[in-house]
Amino acid sequence: MTKADRIADVDALRGAALFGILVVNVCAFASAFYGAGVRDPQFNGAMDHTVRALIAVLFEMKFYLLFSFLFGYSVTLQMAAAERAGEALTGRMLRRQTGLLALGLAHGALLFYGDILTIYAILGLILLALRHRSDSAALRLAALLILVSAALWIGLGLLQWASGERMNRAVVTAQAVAAQAAYRGDPWRVIAQRVAELPSVWGMLLMIQAPCALAMFLVGFVAGRRDLLRHVTAHRVLFRRLLGLGLAIGGPGALLYAWLSQGFIGTGWDVVGLGVCVLTAPLLSAAYGSAFLLGIQTRAGRVVAGWLAPAGRMALTNYLTQSLVCAFLFTGYGAGLIGRVAPLTTIGLAALLFALQLPVSRWWLARFAYGPVEWALRALTIARWPRWRRRAEEGVAA
């Protein structure tokens, strides 16, 4: 997007969402037990449980929804840019989504099995096909996707509980231990383990994250058509209402999800908790976004936004860099720390990594027009080489 397309508040919010995603992803890098349905026996103390519970309440299933909302919002900016350039949106989007798909496939196989870019590449094409729907129709479809997905997970969980079926913890534990051994092996063994896990992981992503991500794409697209985030102060009442509603419903939903998912593992009630999270997390994500947007309208908030916006402008580069660094920290690519770092230390490493990315992003965008991956993806999108260096008169957080 050009300078005229950029909205500093959107970039800052994207930067904040990027940190939330990192907190969740680094847990998956640090332990093969994460998401496996059994507790890591290596870290089973009170502090470990507390950290996992806080992550479940505050981070899991929240920030990728916020990121998805911003993806849908950015499509409206892409549409405006294509119209000004006199080019067809379909061609641009097809090339862009193809690039995302290629990045996602490489990212999933080489760096992180929990890649979301492949899902975004596919869902972006669905959003393209749905772009002519009215705002009300798009919002109804978004609500339907969330409601149906939540009902299915709650129903599946209740069926599991009623049937008395329980997870074989010994088998799952053995699988996690074997996975950690593989991830500590040489690079070829690491890649083989990632590729072996991709089908099941992508299946779970399609079932759990894809419907909600598409719903948030649609909500973000409607917000973009209404230019909701360009002048936040003009919509202050709306954001305050979203904040109150999101905390009132999404907060208890997050607590219930954490309680069920952490305290009733393998019983079916943890799946019920997932359904509750699917239902309520979009509201808590809306509360997060509203609180952030209202907060950065203050003087201190503008300072925070000034640091986050560059990281958000090159979010794709930063996302892939996070995976690269984590892969070298936790797998046989480098230190092989998977299964050897306590949850609290893991979160500390994530905070340190993101803290380093903030000044690096600011430095980079003071000199270059785009992040390196964003530049390559833009070249593919517009089918020509974009400008590389930044013009002297342009600001960092434009």
- For 136-164, write each residue's pLDDT tens digit: 999 999 999 999 999 999 999 999 999 88
Alpha-carbon distance of 255 to 79, in angstroms, equals: 39
- For 2-36, write each residue's pLDDT tens digit: 444 457 899 999 999 999 999 999 999 999 998 87
- For 114-136, write each residue's pLDDT tens digit: 888 999 999 999 999 999 999 99
- For 77-127, write each residue's pLDDT tens digit: 888 888 888 888 889 999 999 999 999 999 999 999 888 899 999 999 999
Q: What's the confidence (pLDDT) of residue 348?
A: 97
- For 261-318, write each residue's pLDDT tens digit: 988 888 889 999 999 999 999 999 999 999 999 999 999 999 999 999 999 999 999 9
Q: How far is CA 373 from CA 244, 251, 395, in A?
A: 37, 36, 20
Report the candidate in 120, 77, 97 with the shortest Cα–Cα distance to residue 225.
Answer: 77
Q: What is the pTM of this model?
A: 0.92
| Paired tokens of 335 | 């230190």
How far is the first Cα of the chain from the last one, in angstroms, to the nearest whole number? 11
Cβ-contact 139, 214 below 8 angstroms? no
Name 116's Cβ contacts closer than 8 Å, sequence gap at least 6: 64, 104, 205, 209, 213
Q: What's the confidence (pLDDT) of residue 263?
A: 85
Alpha-carbon distance of 398 to 387, in angstroms, equals: 16
Domain coordinates in residue numbering, the chain: 8-382
Quote the DSSP letter at residue 232: G
